Amino acid sequence: MASDGVLIALGGNAFAPPGERLSHAGQQAFALATARALLPLLRAASRALLVHGNGPQVGEMLTRVEVAGDRAYALPLDACVAAVDGELGYDLSQALYNVLRAAGDRREICSVLTQVEIDPQDPAFALPDKPVGRFHAAHDVAALRAQGQTLVEDAGRGYRRVVPSPKPQAVIERDVIARLVAAGVLVIAGGGGGIPVQRRAGLLVGVEAVVDKDHTSALLADALDLTLLVLLTDVAAAFTDHGTAAAREIRAATPAQLEALTAAGHFAPGSMLPKITAASAFAGQPGRRAIICSPDNLDAALAGEAGTTVRLAAGSGP
Ligand code: ADP
Ligand code: MG
Number of the ligand 1 atom closest to the C-alpha atom of 10 = 3
Catalytic residue chosen out of the listed positions 59, 89, 275, 307:
275
Respond yes or no: is residue 297 known to be catalytic: no
Q: What is the pLDDT of residue 1?
A: 42
- What order of strands is seen across the sheet that includes strand 168-171? 168-171, 115-118, 195-200, 203-206
Respond yes or no: is residue 167 known to be catalytic: no
**Tens-place pLDDT, residues 235-289:** 999 999 999 999 999 999 999 999 999 999 999 988 899 999 999 999 999 999 9
Catalytic residue chosen out of the listed positions 5, 11, 193, 213:
213
Cα 68 from chain centre: 28
**What does the pLDDT profile of the chain (318 residues) look like in tens digits?**
445 899 999 987 667 766 778 899 999 998 999 999 999 999 999 999 999 999 989 999 999 999 999 999 999 999 999 999 999 999 999 999 999 999 999 999 999 999 999 999 999 999 898 888 888 899 989 998 998 889 998 777 889 988 999 999 999 999 999 999 999 999 999 999 999 999 999 999 999 999 999 999 999 999 999 999 999 999 999 999 999 999 999 999 999 999 999 999 999 988 899 999 999 999 999 999 999 999 989 999 999 999 999 999 865 555
What CATH number belongs to 6-113+170-310?
3.40.1160.10
Give the domain ranges of the chain. Answer: 6-113+170-310
Best CA proximity match to 190, nearest among 171, 176, 175: 171
What is residue 169's three-state secondary structure?
strand
Respond yes or no: is residue 13 known to be catalytic: yes
Q: What is the pLDDT of residue 2?
A: 41
Q: What is the pLDDT of residue 3?
A: 54
Residue 158: CB atoms within 10 A of its CB come to 15
What is the pTM (predicted TM-score) of this model? Answer: 0.94
Number of the ligand 1 atom closest to the C-alpha atom of 239 = 24
CA angle 265, 213, 235 (to 5 degrees): 55
Q: What is the pLDDT of residue 190?
A: 98
